[in-house]
Amino acid sequence: MLRDPVSRYLSEWKHVQRGATWKTSLHMCDGRSPTPDELPTCYEGDDWSGVSLQEFMDCSYNLANNRQYSKQEEHQKNRQKRREERRLLREQRAHQWSKEETAEEITVTEDYNSQVARW
């Protein structure tokens, strides 16, 4: 369940306004850390302390502007991946069962009389 998008956004703004940054967060871009051109910051200096709500909203590089959508997208991709994994497992199991059933049908067993005759 996701938080209300407005309260989440305002909460993140207040957090940043108090001096929080995501400098130590791991951001990935095609399996590597992004360059400053690929992930520019919205502020100069150590942090964005005291940022107004308007400044926070106006920065086009602000990841908070797209965070809820990206989390939903990530969640959907994970759900789809798990669904696909379950489907593949079901297919594998069905294939194994059909192999076992086929093996039983093809197996030739001797009856008691033919075994006795060999002894």
Helices H, strands E: what count in the chain? 4, 0
State the pLDDT at residue 63: 87
Closest CA to 21 of 2, 39, 5: 39
CA gap 47, 22 in Å, rounded: 9
If the chain, 119 residues long, is cut into consecutive pieces of 10 residues, what is the mean pLDDT of each piece?
A: 83 94 84 89 91 94 82 83 92 76 56 54
State the pLDDT at residue 104: 55
State the pLDDT at residue 1: 63
